[in-house]
Chains A and B, each alone.
Chain A
């Protein structure tokens, strides 16, 4: 069964500090991994995508890593800001298993990050 596990479930950090969120997955056949940010009361929005051949990708203060061998990904946030307070969801995509046109996304339950002044 495809699964995505995230840790920690919640995290509180001081403004300006760095933090790292973890994602472990068992999804096959792997297509790509995305990190989404979900602000309270809104839908998730993609931050970054990692494909099988990519190890590191940055998007501003966000840096995602992927180790396809150990099936682990991390999202590192540098110099956190109050606006970083949100849930961060790891989503792993599997290539279609149901024939042409099929598609599968497996979501983690997210890490709730609170940045306090």
Chain B
């Protein structure tokens, strides 16, 4: 398996534009997480899905952020409209469905978003 795949790796956009980040989890993993990482706050959980269903979206900063998981192999995180303070590295991670919750999270390479 190629691991968790995110695209694009880098995104530079102007303030006010719509940004869509994409993630393909590891096949068979039924948990998918979206995180945002900044120097100031470290890794912050935005939202996670279990079997394509959003379980906890309390970390989504505001209504400008939305996430979908239309099927088990694809998820998107959308920011509309984008603002400079959204600049960060966005990670997607997936977890295997074994009984012991808390097994290893496999992270993608991240998308570095810069909003100018």
Contacts and interface: CB of A to CB of B under 8 A. Distances in A.
Interface string B76-116: 00000000000000010101000011111101111000000
Contacts of A46: 104-105
A43 B48 CA distance: 17
B66 to A, nearest CB: 20
Given A31-B102, A44-B107, A98-B55, A107 B42 contact: yes
A105 B107 contact: no
Contacts of A34: 102, 104
A71 B93 CA distance: 26
B101 A95 contact: yes
B55 A101 contact: yes
Interface in B1-54: 4, 31, 33, 35, 41-45, 48, 50-51, 53
A103 B55 contact: yes
Contacts of A44: 43, 91, 105, 107
Interface of A: 31-32, 34, 41-46, 49, 89, 91, 93, 95-96, 98, 101-105, 107-110
Interface of B: 4, 31, 33, 35, 41-45, 48, 50-51, 53, 55-56, 91, 93, 95, 100-105, 107-110
